[in-house]
Structures are given as structure tokens and as C-alpha cells.
Amino acid sequence: MSIVIVLCCIALLILLITHFKINAFLAFLVISILAGLLLGIDVSKITTSVQKGIGDMLGSLVVIIVSGAMLGKLVAESGAAQQIAAGMMKIFGEKYIQWALMVTGFVIGIPLFYNVGFVLVVPLIFSVAYRYNLPVVYIGLPMLASLSVTHGFLPPHPSPTALVAQFHADMGTTLLYGIIIGIPTVILAGPIFSKTLKNIKAPIPKTFQSSALPEDQLPGLGNSVISSLLPVLFLALTTLTTPRLTEGVLKKIMSFLGDPAIVMLLALAIATYTLGVKMGTSLKKIMDIYSDAVKDIAMLLLIMSGAGALKQVLIDSGVSNEIANLLGSFDAHPLVLGWALACLIRVCVGSATVAGLTAAGIVAPLLDRPGVDPNLMVLAVGAGSLMFSHVNDAGFWLFKEYFNLSIKDTIRSWSLMETIVAIAGLIGVMALHYLL
């Protein structure tokens, strides 16, 4: 009976968000309280569970996500992203223009949140398509595939960061696995798949022509790339070196420096100088940029906290163990189950973040089964959360309207690209599972 209640609550959550257009944070709170009542948690303890779930989720994520948003905003506002794009274009040349855009999207997609990255790269896509007289969808999809993969697979993006916390995974290891899986996924969903889209015609709107900064105001290419990738470099360094150190002061220092929150703060501090103060930007203006970045992600943090509340209610009610036993009865690998559940919720809800976090609260007990790597579960759920974006996803309409496409062509290009990302991601996860 408890499992039926949970399924009904999840269905009601989906209905509130999709049909009644209720704010996702409020929907999570309502469903968390309702689930607590129906699952028999003492009335006096339901709010305690909700508050603990919110606190646990935000306590482990706020520093990482907020500082990540600040870094991404600074990369965009300083012109570092523009410099990286220009540098990649010079390196790859006209013949490999798609690959240049794909690599650029991957590099700047690591620090930039998806919506910010999308709006930032679209003018570049249009300008390149206009300059070389190439189909804009054919040119642009590899870059957007890169943004999608970094959004779903790689910390410090909100969803994978939250999944790392929920599954008690290691952020550095997850990041390394995510890059290993993400690169072939982007190649398949980007340059290879886009070859089938050359005949899609999309006019280039003048509205979105790039308003680039003058070259003499841009940071250097090396500075731009290194500053943007500082979190990746720090996490990779500490993840690879710390396990090889013997117990002692040095290992303690490296463990401290490898904490994701410390990594993000150090990266932000260095970038504040290299992309801000060094380039002549006043500290006041830099802090204004950071304030704007926090506004951009405030609702995202609230949605995550709501997902944390629902997860805690499921744990405190004891139904998590029942769900684990039920899922365990299916003849499928736990990583595949996590992926499939995230896919189902994604198609129903539309939001990749909501899909990932909701699935995580349900499949978390499966991590107790032997042979289930929590780092790979993060990536499996993250890949599933990107499955088949369609009319209930804001990203679908963002792509359709910017590229001025029909619903049919948007599904043929955008929706299928996201589907390829989800399926290729699962294949990569299972390949790593059997190889490790």
C-alpha cells in the first residue's frame, strides 16, 4: 500500500507542475507533506522531516552552486567565453567549424548554467552560420549538445551536484567519469547526428546578432580557458593525487583543498582577480555581477530543497526500503532502473533537474546493493533526466523560438538530440561499469 501511495504522490506532483502550472518548489512541499500524512508519519514530525530534508540538501549544495553561478556569470560578462569561442574558431578553421563550436560549448558549458550558456552561444552560432553560409541548425546543434551534456553530467551544475550529495558520491570522480562519457556522447549527438539535419532551413534573425566586446577588452585566451576550467583542474588534481598520498599533514591538506566547496571558493577567488580585477573591472562591478548570478539560480535552489524534503519524508516513513525491494525484483541493473525512472519523470515533467532529483529520492536505496557505484548512478540518472525534451520543457521552446522552427523540425532536431544524449549516456555508464 505504501508504494501505491508514493506512486500516486509522484503522479500528483507531475500533474501539479505540468497541468496546473504550480511552482515546482511549492509542488514539492505540498506533496512532501501529503506523502508524510498518507504514509503514517506522526503529524508532529512531518514538518521536522521536511525541514531536515531542506537543510541537508541546501547545506551541502549552496556554496558549490552559488559560487559556480558566480564564476559562470563572470566568465560570460568578462568576455572570457567570447575569447574562448574566437580562439577555438582559429584553431579548428572553417573545415572543422562544427567541431570548433562543439569544443567551445563543452569548455564554456562547464562553468555556465544551461540557460545562460544557451543565450550566450546562440548569437555566435548565428554569426558563424551567416559568415560561412551554412545551415544554422546543422552548425548549432553540436554546440548545444555540449551544453546539454555538461548540464546533465558534470558538476558543478546543479542537478549532478545535487545527485552527488544524495548518492554520497565523490564529486571529483563523478566529474572525471562524466567527462569520459560526455565526450563521445557529444560527438555522437552533435557532429554525427547533425549531418542528418542539413536540409532544415531556419532564417537567421537580426535580433540575435552578437554584440561582442572589442578585442582589446577581452582577457587572453590562456587566461580565459584556465580561469573557466579552474574547478575541473582543482578537482582532477586532488582526486588523482590524494589517494596516492600516505597519511599525514599533506594528505589532510589535499583532502581539505579537494572538498568541492573549497574548490569552488578557490576557483572563484582566483577568477575574480584574473578575469575581473586584472582586467580593470572594479570590485563593486564584480560584486554586482555576482549578485545577478544569485538571482538567476534562486528558484533552482528552492526546487532542489523541495526535492530534498520529499526524499527525507520517504526515508523517515520507511517506504524507501519497500521501494528498494520492489525495484530489486525487476530483472534489470540498478543503473538501468535509475536511468529509466529519470527518463519517465523527465518525459512527464519536462524539467531535467526535477526529473533527476525526484528519481534520486526513489532509487537511492538501490545503492546499498553490491556492485553499484554511486558515481555512475549520478551519471545514469543525469543521462535519463535529459531524455526526449518536448513541449513541456522550456528548453524545447527556447530552441524552437530562437531558431524559428516548426514543432516538427524542433522534435526532429532538438528532441532527438536530447534522446541520443540520454541513450549514449547510459551506454557509456554501463561500459564504465563493466570496465572498472
Contact 153, 181 (CB under 8 A): yes
Domain boundaries, the chain: 2-435
Residues 289, 296: Cα–Cα separation, whole Å: 11
Only one residue has cell 548554467, namely: 113
| Low-confidence spans in the chain with pLDDT less than 70 | 205-212, 324, 328
φ, ψ at 238 (rounded to 5°)? -70, -35
- Crossing angle, helix 2-18 and helix 24-38, to 10 degrees? 160
Q: What stretches of 93-213 show up as alpha helix (H) in DSSP? A: 97-109, 114-132, 136-153, 158-167, 171-187, 193-194
Q: Which three cell numbers stand for residue 192?
A: 554525427
Q: Which three cell numbers stand for residue 8?
A: 500516486
d(CA 190, CA 199): 16
Cα angle: 303, vertex 304, 308; to 5 degrees? 120
- CA 406 centroid distance within chain: 27
Cell of 18: 505540468
Distance of alpha carbon 68 from alpha carbon 71, whole angstroms: 5
What CA–CA distance (Å, rounded) separates 276 from 270?
9
Task: Give the residue among 277, 224, 255, 239 at the shortest CA–CA distance from 107.
Answer: 224
- Grid coordinates in use for 336? 538501468
**Residues 6 or more apart whose Cβ sits within 8 Å of residue 8:** none
How remote is the C-alpha of 242 from its chain's centroid?
26
- What would the DSSP string read from start to end of 249-308? HHHHHHHHHTSHHHHHHHHHHHHIIIIIGGGT--HHHHHHHHHHHHHHHHHHHHHHHHHH
The H or E element containing residue 243 is none
| 265 close to 63: Cβ distance less than 8 angstroms | yes
Which of 431, 194, 202, 409 has the alpha carbon at shortest distance from 333? Answer: 431
| C-alpha grid cell, residue 142 | 553540436
pLDDT of residue 211: 55
366-391 residues labelled b (16+ CB within 10 A) or e (exposed): bbeeeebbbbbbbbbbbbbbbbbbbe
- List pLDDT tens digits, range 389-402: 987 788 888 898 88
What does the DSSP assignment read for 306-367? HHHHHHHHHHHHTHHHHHHHHHHTSSS-HHHHHHHHHHHHHHHH--HHHHHHHHHHHHGGGG
Main-chain dihedrals φ then ψ at residue 194, nearest 5 degrees: -65, -15
Euclidean distance between CA atoms 104 and 82, whole angstroms: 10
